[in-house]
Amino acid sequence: MTTDLNQTIPFSFTSPEFFKNPYPFYDKLRSIHPIYWGNLLKYPGWYVTGYEEAIAILKDTRFKNRIPLPQTSKKYERLKNTQNDMMLFKNQPDHKRLRLLVSNVFTPRMVEHLRPYIQETVNDLLQQFQNKKTMDVVSDLAFPLASLIIAKIIGVPQEERYQFREWAASLIQTIDFTRSRKALDNGNAITIILRDYFKELIKRRKHSPEEDLVSLLIKEEQQGDRLTDEELLATCILLVIAGHETTVNLISNSILTLLKHPHQLMDLKEKPLLIEGAVEEFLRYESPTQMTARIASEDIEIHQTTIKKGDQVYILLGAANRDPNKFHDPHLFDITRNPNPHLAFGYGTHFCLGAPLARLETQITIKSLLVWKDNLQLAAPDLQWRKMIGFRSLNELQIIFD
């Protein structure tokens, strides 16, 4: 069974209405077919909006990852080669090898040890607005927090940590499906800067190790294997991207969602122990990562749909997380929802390695914000979302408070 390529395309991924609220469009697409064949991006492919269909594809290793740039691209060669060494775009057995080496260092226990520093950083950022009446959650809280935390983890000296904000914002544009030539030009240039920066940092840590991720990755060895210098560079740059984008989006989207649901906000304020479940619902309801892509390495049948070798597959995580066949009343925001098996961090072998860190940063930020000020409100109802398809990301989030 396949869907008809000649069917009327139900919506455009580049329309203002889509960026403002993609979920009605996802519903319409799912109503046609949970695995829909169409030309909604630059190239035709399969668009997966069903939850069970998404899981089936994400756990099937016959669907391969690929770097966003074509292998023939010469203009952005430094960016392309660096992405090619990133764990995010690797397939088995290379992915398993890299993930084992990195995951033995970047552990949930290491993340938990950061709790005091995260709390201190959140407190410091909020204190700067103690005598003010307004704040941009994105630029004043979420982004600097993510920058400072991931830079500390990597081992970047404190005085250099704020440099990473602009670098991360530019690099994320290079892996989104809306990327422009200008974004790729900027990304390639920033990749060169970052490579030079991390080469020097790695050189220093090889000579004088410290208790940071770079030092630990340098000495980490599994069964006689260790990261090459190129893989180490690519891992550091990947952490700069991933350590910012998911966390910034998650914190900002969570605060927005709470402010739009004041009764749920009050429940969480009165019952702070609900925070862990609340963060899971934030992840489901406004998934920071909305899409991931695969390519079929052979003809594969998924839920009575034949996907041909070489076909592009776009898995809409934000749509799967609102599939009514999996979630009761999926468009209802409920911080007590249980169970909540969302796919916001992916599924299977490529499940997001940074999930514990994003969860912890968001839990601490939301709890701290709710006890910091009363009467938090949106400054204006009109919100500007960044024009990205793969990520649900606000340009800014102005809030007011007493």
| pLDDT value, residue 42 | 73
Q: And the tokens for 73?
A: 């691209």
> Residues with Cβ < 8 Å from 109, sequence gap 6 or more?
none
Give me the percent of the chain exceeding a pLDDT of 70.
Answer: 95
User: In the predicted model, what is the mean pLDDT of the chain?
Assistant: 91
Q: And the tokens for 156?
A: 């970047």
Q: And the tokens for 236?
A: 């550091």
Indicate whether 159 pLDDT > 90: no
Q: Are 386 and 395 in contact (CB under 8 A)?
A: yes
Q: What is the pLDDT of residues 18-55, one digit of tens each?
A: 999 999 999 999 999 999 998 887 778 999 999 999 99
CA–CA dist 363, 275 (Å, integer): 6
Q: What is the pLDDT of residues 187-228, one digit of tens each?
A: 899 999 999 999 999 999 999 999 999 999 999 976 678 899
CA–CA dist 50, 48 (Å, integer): 6
| pLDDT value, residue 292 | 94
| pLDDT value, residue 81 | 87
Average pLDDT over residues 104-123: 95
| pLDDT value, residue 370 | 97
Task: Give the global pTM.
Answer: 0.93
CA–CA dist 331, 321 (Å, integer): 10
pLDDT band at 302 (very low <50, low <70, confident <90, very high): very high
Start-to-end Cα distance in the chain: 58
CA–CA dist 23, 27 (Å, integer): 6
Say which residue the tokens 């249980």 belong to.
Answer: 338
Q: And the tokens for 230?
A: 């190129």
Indicate whether 7 pLDDT > 60: no
pLDDT band at 72 (very low <50, low <70, confident <90, very high): low
| pLDDT value, residue 176 | 80
| pLDDT value, residue 1 | 43
Indicate whether 79 pLDDT > 70: yes
Of 73 and 286, the one with more pLDDT: 286
Indicate whether 5 pLDDT > 50: no
pLDDT band at 167 (very low <50, low <70, confident <90, very high): confident
| pLDDT value, residue 71 | 54
Of 343 and 76, the one with more pLDDT: 343
> Residues with Cβ < 8 Å from 389, sequence gap 6 or more?
13, 41, 176, 177, 178, 290, 291
Indicate whether 280 pLDDT > 50: yes
| pLDDT value, residue 262 | 96
Q: What is the pLDDT of residues 312-369, one digit of tens each?
A: 999 999 999 999 999 999 999 999 999 999 999 999 999 999 999 999 999 999 999 9
DSSP helix/strand/coil, 302: strand
